[in-house]
Structure 1
């Protein structure tokens, strides 16, 4: 399978790709650039913010729930207006939001991390029907938040540990029991997504690729992309079988930048697997 550049906007730290199933649009973030991007009719649209933004889930056709450095807010796609929902570690100037995704029960999981990747400064929270609750703490770089199709398992990682974890969920989507190691040596894991068959697709930072694991943790295949620092995958497209992958230029040595002009772009690979539809956030 061959990749192609879906969007050539250069992101310093591309993250948080999310295919909106009602709009049939891909949304993604440049965290360091404080920007949200999308494409409409082959045109790239960009919104600029005054603090870091990193992840979103869809609420309805025109509304996203968006995570920023200090809060969760609704974002109106039509007007570009934001409306405060709740604070997110707003009293901690060390941290910002990072990886996040909506869960099958209508909640939204969002990870935080230190702005300079300070050791164990981050946490994972869940917003569910009007309130935000901290789930896990002492995480250095929160990533890989995603969910099994049956809603019974959540995955996440601390990139600094090189492990991807999993934890069982109850009927309301809350963790029960302790997280356990799913992948012990994950080769610098960044963002992940789970397809309709339950396979986990993980972007391996620094490797120009995404790795696919079976529900049992077996490596099934690799999909190459044209950016060295692959950061997060998402399924979308007309039939949900296109894999979109954000990448980053952040901290790349000059020698690597000279090898390719595509670092920081969003890549796509068609007919990869059948993805899950991104779940709706219920406010």
Structure 2
């Protein structure tokens, strides 16, 4: 039976993002980052001092990966860009595809240093998106005809990848080569969430292999075992939870982004914390994200 836990955490940022997404943490600087995709904004929060900064972007960014102390990689609707941490200067790195109606969405770095990144239609056109594998400058399309790609994360040893199409609502599992992050088998359904409230959204995998998944439309982060058993639901104070990330000096805390996208005026009044960013407020066994290998 799934245990349901009330929210006992705190609000990390009261700024309401239209589409808060792509949270990550850089342990070298103690800073958490996340995007407002449609607001074209990168948020930066130094956790120890709670010092906040925002950086306007010239594109729809959705994924940030650390490259080295001086550089980050951002995935956007205009391709991948290297960003200098010191001044925010951007330089093109590579492009994923040539569909102008698409934007980037979910993504995460595999333990090998390769990146999985995804695309989708700007208005969630059916089957418009895909999931890609980027190793250095080599791009491989892994899965096509995806409507809303999400849930990308990896087991601690890199041998298993997880992902979803939120439109279908199946949490998928696929065997990977731990040395490259490339699939070695055919994806299979790990958990069929068809017909249940809310959509499977962003996810992270902890040091024990548990999958922490933000549940869009259900005010929650759900926890799955590697065999697909849902063992816990942690409530959050915004209906459209979008993506979690491990934060803190020991990766033992969990932040969660949310969104107000799609809510009418009455919906926003009923969901006053929509778009804010939260910390769940209890200890977890997280992992730091690997750096992307150029």
Q: Report the TM-score, using the length of structure 1 for normalisation.
A: 0.96
8 Å CA contact 1:241, 1:273 repeated in 2: yes
Instruction: Please report how far the alpha carbon of residue 129 of structure 1 lies from its aligned counterpart in structure 2 after TM superposition.
Output: 2.1
| Larger displacement relative to structure 2 (193-202 or 162-171) | 162-171
Instruction: Please report how far the alpha carbon of residue 130 of structure 1 lies from its aligned counterpart in structure 2 after TM superposition.
Output: 2.3
Matched, 1:9 2:15: yes
Partner of 1:74: 82
Partner of 1:138: 145
Matched, 1:182 2:176: no
Partner of 2:173: 166
Q: In structure 2, what is the Cα distance between the partners aligned to 1:52 and 1:151?
A: 29
Matched, 1:45 2:49: no
Q: In structure 2, what is the Cα distance between the partners aligned to 1:224 and 1:168?
A: 31
8 Å CA contact 1:122, 1:142 repeated in 2: yes
Q: In structure 1, what is the Cα distance between the partners aligned to 2:274 and 2:221?
A: 15
Residue by residue, what CA displacement relative to the aligned partner does 1:41-88 show, whole Å, maximum 9, x if unpaired?
A: 322211112221101111112311110102111111211101111012
Partner of 1:229: 240
Give unpaired runs (5+ residues) of structure 2.
Answer: 1-6
Give aligned pairs, total: 282
Q: In structure 1, what is the Cα distance between the partners aligned to 2:59 and 2:67?
A: 22
Q: In structure 2, what is the Cα distance between the partners aligned to 1:75 and 1:222?
A: 36
8 Å CA contact 1:3, 1:267 repeated in 2: yes
Partner of 2:40: 34
Residue by residue, what CA displacement relative to the aligned partner does 1:84-130 show, whole Å, maximum 9, x if unpaired?
A: 110122x2111000001111000111010000100000000111022
8 Å CA contact 1:107, 1:128 repeated in 2: yes
Which 4+ runs in 1 deviate beyond 2 A? 253-256
8 Å CA contact 2:116, 2:131 repeated in 1: yes
8 Å CA contact 2:20, 2:37 repeated in 1: yes
Instruction: Please report how far the alpha carbon of residue 238 of structure 1 lies from its aligned counterpart in structure 2 after TM superposition.
Output: 2.2
8 Å CA contact 1:211, 1:223 repeated in 2: yes
Matched, 1:128 2:135: yes
Q: Report the TM-score, using the length of structure 2 for normalisation.
A: 0.93
Instruction: Please report how far the alpha carbon of residue 177 of structure 1 lies from its aligned counterpart in structure 2 after TM superposition.
Output: 1.3
Partner of 1:115: 122
Give unpaired runs (5+ residues) of structure 1.
Answer: none
Please state whether the residue corresponding to 2:21 is helix, strand or coil.
Answer: strand
8 Å CA contact 1:153, 1:167 repeated in 2: yes
Q: In structure 2, what is the Cα distance between the partners aligned to 1:269 and 1:249?
A: 19
Q: In structure 1, what is the Cα distance between the partners aligned to 2:9 and 2:234?
A: 8
Partner of 2:3: none
